[in-house]
Amino acid sequence: MAADSMEIDDALYSRQRYVLGDTAMQKMAQSHVFLSGIGGLGVEIAKNIILAGVKALTVHDTKQCTKWDLGINFFIHEDDITSQRNRAEATLHRIAELNPYVHVAASTVPLDETTDLSFLKQYQCVILTEVSLLLQKKINDFCHAQQPPIKFISADVYGMCSRLFCDFGDEFEVLDTTGEEPKEIFISNITQSNPGIVTCLENHPHRLETGQFLTFREVNGMSCLNGSTHQITVVSPYSFSIGNTSDMEPYLHGGIAVQVKTPKTFYFERLEKQITNPLCLVADFSKPQAPLQIHVAMLALNHFQENFGRRPNIGCLQDAEEMLKIAMSISETLENKPQVNGDVVKWLSRTAQGFLAPLAAAVGGVASQEVLKAVTGKFSPLQQWLYIDMLDIVTPLEKTGSEEFLPRGDRYDALRACIGDSLCQKLHDLNVFLVGCGAIGCEMLKNFALLGVGTGQDKGLVTITDPDLIEKSNLNRQFLFRPHHIQKPKSYTAAEATLNINPCLKIDSYINKVCPATENTYSDEFYTKQDVIVTALDNVEARRYIDSRCVANLRPLIDSGTMGTKGHTEVIVPHLTESYNSHRDPPEEEIPFCTLKSFPAAIEHTIQWARDKFESSFSHKPSLFNKFWQTYPSAEEVLQRIKSGESLEGCFHVIKTLSRRPRSWTQCVELARVKFEKYFSHKALQLLHSFPLDTRLKDGSLFWQSPKRPPFPVKFEFNDPLHYGFIVSAAKLFATVYCVPFTEKDLSEETLLKIISAVKVPEFRPSNKVVQTDETARKPDHIPVSSEDERNAIFQLEKSIQSSEALENDLQMKPISFEKDDDGNGHVDFITAASNLRAKMYNIEPADRFKTKRIAGKIIPAIATATAAVSGLVALELIKVVGGYPADAYKNCFLNLAIPIMVFTETAEVRRTEIRNGISFTIWDRWTIYGKEDFTLLDFINAVREKYGIEPTMVVQGVKMLYVPVMPGHIKRLKLTMQKLVKPSADKKYVDLTVSFAPETDGEEDLPGPPVRYYFVQEDN
């Protein structure tokens, strides 16, 4: 992002622009930030804010690199230690590489009680890590006193506890507290009353909150509401009140209420005052007292350091007792006099010398988002403390001897001080399968490298896969990749970059998709070799598939995902928790076919229509055309066959395309101009012919009322940039699919004006075609071809053959695949122009290219801060899975860094399904039957009954019904062998079947059973 022009590099920042918006991006690109302490937490914050794109960052540190740093700072290498480099200088060029638009400088001068702080005036935000509490207070006072105040953030990770504090000055104004799109609500009624009650359309809840503001437009009848703004009170999910409407004209129909974003002022206190009366964000509602308890414990640790000049020694009971005394006395000085939690103090004392890198990743993600809020004024800032503890990890280690936690002089000493050597070894020996090497995947690999996952001498391996190549837009958050990696495979590149962090890591990388087609590679045998599977995916379908494979092979799975500033993590442990497939999100609402085709009401509808037109004209039709001519290689053969009465699938549309095929640039422009008339003029005229403006429904109400909007034809104007843009982009795409060359001169205004002026645009002729108005109706699969159409096809094909326009080259087209991130290909330009012309036709507010690209490309907004936070939380759960922790130790998390909220919840306990007579099962149970070569279906049913005490009445293999008694011929199958019924491949030793059982009373549904793994022959024990 160049600071002088403030132009945003969309190829790099596109996913983040959808999170922050351009105003915030530009403010960020003018901001100078100071960060002290480039240890494990500092480097996380530096990474995230450099990727985000601040103007300048100064990293300050006075410490030398040590062996210890290799396990906490992913940008410090072995040679930095041997060369005794300063940490800031060692990491400088590596963090600067992350974003060429950010100026990064290093500072190594001492920062202490005697330092003149006036140098901080050049910065808009100051972040402190690894700084004493006394110095934090001094710097905070200085920052708070400036005009305008310098935004102050301090963050620390000690052992199993972390702390984050924000002070953005006495008053801090935020223009957009949530970053959510303003809601638009279609109105069905407004009462004439005090207060007036506004009701939304049926089945469309408003999802508003009391106190929000709305403005109105397009209200018929009560028209004085249009343009006015009202504060609302929620009455029900479908209605809200807006104040006195009793003196207004009666409401007739229509109207849209649009949410208005209002600025909000946040008030902050200095660190000194907040220490005695802290305002904390509660992350775990099962432990509402935890933030205050950690607050006291961490203050006690700070005082211990001031008193003794060191942190408590590992496993030293005397130091723990001393810290507990300090905590008791500190508690008395706080306003609420919170109860001291002895366990928190003890564990903080025991682990204070250690450092959990994944905890730093989680806190660093949150802290980085606060930095971005500080310099942009976008989103709600943290008020004012966030505490996260990992007591869940350390509590089960109660009986572990203190020698387990002592340093061994290697890169894992910081981790060992927190979790002990045995758990470190288990991490080293771990076999883990990471699916996806995108943003979360890159962060996870960094966490694996710092934890030493897959580094064991005899055991341990990290397997990764991702079919994608690196794009420029990935570089904004997939921090293992650099510009010279663009168009290289993500998995291979990520593996190489991870080895730079920890050369001892053993890593296998693949470029396969994980799906049914690759089950030869990712077989049951492969899954059973894995200790845990970690997904870093961007779609639900892939998650569901991998979850089913994990359940079938009894493997733990940790899933996570982000969308903008929101993120989630979910832990799935065999026999303890439900699986991902146990819960289903509601399906995405599809836009009804009739809405897309004839009755759009919102810009999303016109964008989807334009995207469908792109797919149909430039991808689907050309593909069908090619497929047809690959099946029937010559036009003469096709003509002969249809003349003899043969029906060839798709031939009518193919012949129509062939006969109308443009063969020059002029014809491509003419085709684009005719399409303009058809889409944006004739379509409107036809609808108004079918439904004139005064059309009424059976109940007497107007046909054209909200949400239906009457269309009005658009008259082509060459000088209108929107009209001109449609012609150019459509003509270029037609030229591409029809293999017509064109030059720069062809694209000149002069050439285009000359061609368009000569075009004979067909006149509108109304038809009697029925317009679909039923919202439940789906798009028809194929439209029947009339006998007249068939006769016409014969005539057209004969004509093409006679004029030598059905030769080999004429029977080929070049289908286009939609690519949203290539600005030079014209794909998004066509969709933007087509969508906005349709919006103009229906009087819908248009969308700019940026918004159109997001909706048409189904782009998921993304930012590095949320990705880092989520991956850190996943790695913390990984430690628990490796340690074989009990069910109540695991936590799922939902976070939204914009608001900000972070909610930890216990995992859902696995449900047990009762069959009958005390027989029950869970999703993790699997019954096993061993057969032999002549084993029949009846033998199988009897074997299940004998072994498990209940007789199956139905047997299913995947989607194939093997045995359903009521189906014709199925009783005869009982005598068939299982080999004949299942037809396994030669190498297949077993098959997974689903069985059901007869209900206890007739008329009820069959009772489901667990999966049954049937082995074709007895396995050798």
| Contact status, residue 35 vs residue 46, Cβ threshold 8 Å | yes
β strands within 114-231, DSSP E: 125-128, 151-158, 161-167, 171-174, 184-190, 197-200, 213-217, 229-231
**The tokens of 812 are what?**
């080929």
Burial class (CB in 10 A: 0-12, 13-18, 19+), 969: exposed
Q: What distance in Å separates the CA atoms of residue 763 and residue 423, rounded to the nearest whole number? A: 79
Q: Tell me which H or E stretch contains 840.
A: helix 827-841
* 200 catalytically annotated: no
Q: What distance in Å separates the CA atoms of residue 703 and residue 966, rounded to the nearest whole number? A: 50
Q: What are the CA-CA distances from residue 196 to residues 200, 205, 234, 856 (Å)?
A: 13, 18, 12, 38
134 Cβ neighbours under 8 A, 6+ residues apart = 113, 306
Burial class (CB in 10 A: 0-12, 13-18, 19+), 66: middle
| Contact status, residue 810 vs residue 569, Cβ threshold 8 Å | no
Q: What are the CA-CA distances from residue 793 to residues 517, 626, 656, 767 (Å)?
A: 40, 18, 7, 21
Q: What are the CA-CA distances from residue 822 to residues 444, 553, 619, 722, 873 (Å)?
A: 29, 41, 17, 20, 34
**The tokens of 302 are what?**
């700070």
| Contact status, residue 874 vs residue 436, Cβ threshold 8 Å | no
| Contact status, residue 437 vs residue 429, Cβ threshold 8 Å | no
DSSP secondary structure code for residue 149 in this structure: P
φ and ψ of 378, to 5 deg: -105, 130
Q: Which of helix, strand or coil describes residue 701?
A: coil
207 Cβ neighbours under 8 A, 6+ residues apart = 183, 237
Q: What are 432's strand-pairing partners?
A: 462, 532
Q: What are 507's strand-pairing partners?
A: 462
The CA dihedral of 957, 962, 965, 967, to the nearest 10 degrees, is: 110
| Contact status, residue 631 vs residue 882, Cβ threshold 8 Å | no
| Contact status, residue 418 vs residue 394, Cβ threshold 8 Å | yes
Q: Tell me which H or E stretch contains 124.
A: none
Angle between helices 40-52 and 864-882 (to 10 degrees): 140
| Pairing relationship of beta strands 125-128 and 32-36 according to DSSP bridges | parallel
864 Cβ neighbours under 8 A, 6+ residues apart = 16, 47, 48, 51, 52, 365, 368, 439, 476, 477, 479
Q: Which is catalytic among the residues 166, 280, 442, 594? A: 594
Cα three-residue angle 707-712-717, rounded to 5 degrees = 135
Q: What distance in Å separates the CA atoms of residue 72 and residue 307, rounded to the nearest whole number? A: 27
| Pairing relationship of beta strands 952-957 and 264-267 according to DSSP bridges | unpaired
| Pairing relationship of beta strands 280-281 and 184-190 according to DSSP bridges | unpaired
Q: What are the CA-CA distances from residue 96 to residues 183, 330, 460 (Å)?
A: 40, 42, 33
Total residues found in the chain within this entry: 1021
DSSP secondary structure code for residue 223 in this structure: G
- Cis link prior to 100 (omega < 30° from 0)? no
φ and ψ of 220, to 5 deg: -100, 135
| Contact status, residue 150 vs residue 123, Cβ threshold 8 Å | yes
Hey, what amino acid is at 74? F
Query: Catalytic residues, which ones?
Result: 594
